Structure 1
Amino acid sequence: MIDDETRYRAVDSRDARFDGVFFTAVTSTGIYCRPSCPAVTPKRVNCTFYPTAAAAQGAGFRACRRCRPDSVPGSPEWNHRADLVGRAMRLIGDGVVDREGVAGLADRLGYSARQVQRQLTAELGAGPIALARAQRAQAARLLLQTTRLPVTEVAFAAGFASVRQFNDTVREVYDRTPSGLRAEARGAGATADADPAVGGALSLRLAYRGPIDTEHLMDFLALRAVPGVEEVIAGPRGVRTYRRTLRLPHGQAVAEVDSLGSPVRADRGWLDCRLRLADLRDLTTAVHRMRALFDLDADPQAVAEQLGADPVLGPLVARRPGLRSPGHVDPHELAVRAVLGQQITVAAARTLAGRLATRYGTPLRERSGGLTVLFPEAGALAEADSADLAMPASRQDALRGLCAALAEGAVRLDPGVDREQAAEQLLALRGIGPWTVGYLRMRALGDPDVFLPGDVGVRHGLTRLGRPGDPKAAAVAALAWSPWRSYAVHQLWASLSAGE
């Protein structure tokens, strides 16, 4: 927890590490900014601080047109918090309120709508509707400034229920009409991409707190890329691009994200991303899921302060600053792949997953490079033919049982699920053990504090560092790395691949 004086010092020093952690509202101007805003630092007496952009908007402040506080990384708090507020924020980020309303959000959380409203408002200064509204405003600005879509279509694509609601929100948040916001961007030299509705790509920037090791991310994803579903391709100047298909609430999509290449600009602050959406209403959800995949809302400095001071991991952290703990875009897909990977190599699991994708996946409406299919849904794999499952009968049963539980909703792995409850449900399934549950907690559920003491790579990594690699000793040593044990796992894995 930080107090207002600490927040003001962050604003005075334009500390970008706090972008998205809080927002500064300036009473003398009526605007709110990110802490790193380059404008003249306001007087302390004129500053009020809010935990979310929605809270600042609800208090009557408009977004700064210079620092664009709506486009900052999300607060890292929502990565590790497992309480009601943390779970609710992850679901809102995934677009649940837009699709299912506050009642749907509350139902997923297991609380009444009134309880959810009360707790979010008390802690964040804004309820679920206001938080979702702030997301819609940001999506609307993105579409207005990067596409040639008619304003009316932008309104509904961003998730607004009416054009009037859209117009009122844009005016309130940005102090501009939608047409004025679009004209302002063009006047600043921005160019509109091809209209996504007719097959073009929507280009956007995925903000992060630096540093970030995109080479590790690309290596990690490339090693596990399922043929037809994912690919990593090389480009000029050392830039690599990760591409994959997405199954979204309203339709199919193809997403691609570029690495930083070489030389890396430490102050850049974003990754280039392109989305080809069959339905623009999926924009917010697609962005949220790609951010989770690349762990872009993490706080690398907090991780480095903890792990970098450790005598075991310190040298690794110093050599690989900004290493992330990749999440995933589809928890059901990851669960299937985790079971496929039990007791075989990563390469063998990747090959098997590719065969299942070809046999049971949903074909893309139009091939995109090496991407041809969406990963199979759990229900389809629950009925998979034994001839297609090149694995022992016990693991076939485990896979079918897991897929049936996911398809029926007996096991939930959505962004707002209680992690402890999900772990218990998974462990109750035949053939699902601690490693699989830990791996899913780390990647599918975005838990930053998971350690895998029985993992072969973890044990080898510790041994190479001169430390005991047996599971019991490893688990004891890892207690010092909490609450960032997932990042410790990735440091150990990366040390093996780099030969450190």
Structure 2
Amino acid sequence: MNEDSRYEAVRSRDARFDGAFFFAVSTTGIYCRPSCPATTPRRRNVAFFPTAAAAQGSGFRACRRCRPDAVPGSAEWNARADVVGRAMRLISEGVVDREGVAGLAARLGYSARQVQRQLNAELGAGPVALARAQRAHTARVLLQTTALQAAEIAFAAGFASVRQFNDTIKEIYALTPSELRAARPGKGTRFGPVAPPSTPGVLPLRLAFRGPYAARQLFDHLQRRAVTGIEEVSGEPGARTYRRTLRLPHGAGIAEVDEAAGDGWLDCRLHLSELRDLTTASQRVRRLFDLDADPYAVAERLRADDVLARLVDRHPGLRSPGAPAPDELAVRAVLGQQVSVAAGRTLGGALVAAYGESLPEPAGALTHLFPRPDDLAQAALTELGMPESRRATLRTLSTALVDGTVVLDAGADRDETERALLGLRGIGPWTAGYIRMRALGDPDVLLTGDVAVLAGMRRAGAPTAGLRERANAWRPWRSYAMHHFWNAPVTEPAGPRPTTTESTGP
């Protein structure tokens, strides 16, 4: 996009671009999301920014009407594999708050000065400013959904002092923390409140997404794979709730997400033993539910294929689920080798029962945290009904995760990680690719040998010969193409594809 097309998106209040860029108005000193319902400013008074932090760094405060800090994240950071994309994923995980800029740079394999320079050059804001914007958003959520004291919120959001917290809130929102709490949006606003006020011990969130959202298919996916002890799905289709335990940097947590989607958000409730884990927990849930995806860009590319076009129109907004814990996903991928989904789920339950860490108090069917790689690296694993060769693969993988041979954090280099995985005995292309797709959130993975993908292609009437060459036209969204084939109906009607009212953008 150029500045003219961005302005057209602002004029049409196009929510498809919320989070992809922000605009600020020089005459008011306010920055907004593209879909802000306020009167469209004159073009000469508008400036555009790639991030909220860049707008804040230029002296603009957040609009109280459209709440630009509550938009979905940009899908660009998931698609990009360069240092800027990797840095953005790590910053969203809270790495700068926990480890500083030096820790971020060390994870990326660059000097702190190089990281600072690249982020400033491309985004107009460095890692400290980007992390500061995220802390401010976390603080606003806590101010407007809990009864916590301001000092508790300051440290839970990651601020170093109450004074820093007060100054930042006033600078970004032009309100004191007390005034911001009193200004909690009501239910009648266009974007809805952040979430209803919480009960003690529960943090309610509304997790934003853009475009259509195929919630039923994603909840079906999670329900079929829910591992006893760490996950459960309750309720009837259309009104289900997914619950799972989370191992977080400072403690344990439980996330609950409702299937019934609001107008652009999923309702989520977090139970955290440490409030400092709020940012990390919410980002991990976002990755699991693929809430930062751009379904418009995916649909535009995949609809160029006649067979995929029918599947895209059948399930608009189909997501590619990620993982709330990359190490866990890698272990579960090995458990699922050469067995059915149901058998892999059974093996996962046995592993959790034998080696998982018990919660201090069970929460319904949730009783454990998934085992750490350290717990499995030297374990006999005889409790699992699987061949010794696969048990040996689990131990080899766990050892590689412990000693750093394989790195699966949010900023990992995907190519390097896949090569490291393929270097482990017992890890083949399917397992390495599946881990890359889900644990590392890569939207452009193609599992050419996946039996279910090939079966879905045949059901949909797509030729399976020359798949790799055919799939080049689906880049950079091949992971989504696979999910469409996995969800292909038993019989796909022939003939012209159905019409759709979705637009592909300005």
Hey, what does 1:241 align to over in structure 2?
241
1:220 is aligned to 221
| Contact preservation (8 Å) 2:334, 2:431 | yes
Paired amino acid for 2:51: T
Match of 1:478, as an amino acid?
A
**Post-superposition offset of 1:192:** 2.5
Q: Please state if 1:258 is matched with 2:258.
A: yes
Aligned to 2:15: 16
C-alpha contact (below 8 Å) 2:459/2:488 kept by paired residues: no
Aligned match for 1:467, one of 458, 462, 468: 462
The answer for the alignment partner of 1:69 in structure 2 is 68
Aligned counterpart, 1:145: 144
- Aligned mate of 2:473, from 461, 475, 480: 480
CA separation of 1:412 and 1:10: change in aligned 2, threshold 3 A: same
- Alpha-carbon separation, structure 2, partners of 1:446 and 1:355: 27
Deviation of 1:188 after TM superposition, in Å, equals: 7.6
The alignment partner of 1:204 has SS state of strand
Cα distance in 2, alignment partners of residues 428 and 220 from structure 1: 29
Shift of the alpha carbon at 1:466?
3.0
Q: Distance in 2 between matches of 1:188 and 1:310?
A: 42
Question: Does structure 2 retain, via aligned residues, the 8 Å contact 1:458–1:469?
Answer: no
- State the shift of 1:496 in Å: 4.8
Structure-to-structure mapping, 1:43-62, within 5 angstroms: 43-62=42-61
Q: Following TM superposition, by how much is the alpha carbon of 1:186 offset from its aligned partner in structure 2, in angstroms?
A: 7.4
Deviates more, 1:25-34 or 1:179-188: 179-188
Q: 1:184 offset after TM fit, Å?
A: 1.4
Aligned mates of 1:250, 1:172 — CA distance in 2: 29
Q: Deviations over 1:354-374 (max 9, x none)?
A: 011011011112211211101
Give CA-to-partner distance per residue, 1:326-358, whole Å, 9 cap, x none: 000011000000001001111001001101101
Q: 2:316: which partner in 1?
A: 321
Does the residue aligned with 1:387 lie in a helix, a strand or coil? Answer: coil
Distance 1:188 1:298 in 2: 26
Partner of 2:502: none
Amino acid paired to 2:165: F
Instruction: Tell me the amino acid that sits aligned with residue 198 of structure 2.
Output: D
The residue type paired with residue 269 of structure 1 is G
Kindly state the Cα deviation for residue 269 of structure 1 after the two structures are TM-superposed: 0.6
Residue-by-residue CA offset, 1:178-235 (whole Å, 9 max, x unaligned):
011011117889752123xxxx210010000010000011000011111111111116
Partner of 1:300: 295
Paired position in structure 1 for 2:497? none
Corresponding residue of 2:496: none
Structure 2 residue 306 is the aligned partner of structure 1 residue 311: yes
Matched, 1:346 2:347: no
1:80-91 mapped onto 2 (5 Å cutoff): 80-91=79-90
Q: Which amino acid aligns with 2:117?
A: R
**Cα gap change, 1:158/1:465 in structure 2, threshold over 3 Å: closer, same or farther?**
same
After superposition, the CA RMSD in angstroms is 1.5
The structure with the largest helix share of the pair is 1
What's 1:416 paired with? 411
Distance 1:25 1:176 in 2: 18
Aligned to 2:357: 362
Who is 1:337 aligned against?
A: 332
Give, in angstroms, the shift of residue 474 of structure 1: 2.0
Unpaired segments ≥5 residues, structure 1: none
1:465 CA displacement: 2.5
Partner of 1:176: 175
Contact (CA 8 Å) 2:460, 2:485: kept in 1 or not? no
Distance 1:102 1:4 in 2: 31
Which secondary structure does the structure 2 equivalent of 1:24 belong to? Answer: strand
Q: Aligned letter for 2:306?
A: P
Asked if the contact 2:350–2:384 (Cα under 8 Å) also holds between the matched residues in 1, the reply is no
Are the aligned partners of 1:459 and 1:474 in contact in 2 as well (CA < 8 Å)? no
**What per-residue deviation string (whole Å, max 9, x for no partner) do you get for residues 101-132 of structure 1?**
00000000000000000000000000000000
Paired residue for 1:194?
Answer: 199
* Residue type at the aligned position of 1:312: V
Count of matched residue positions in the alignment of Structure 1 and Structure 2 = 487
Letter paired with 1:230? E
Task: Check the 8 A contact 2:459/2:490 in 1, yes or no.
Answer: no
The 1-side partners of 2:490 and 2:15 are apart by 31
Q: Secondary structure at the match of 1:295?
A: coil
> What are structure 2's unaligned runs of at least 5 residues?
494-506
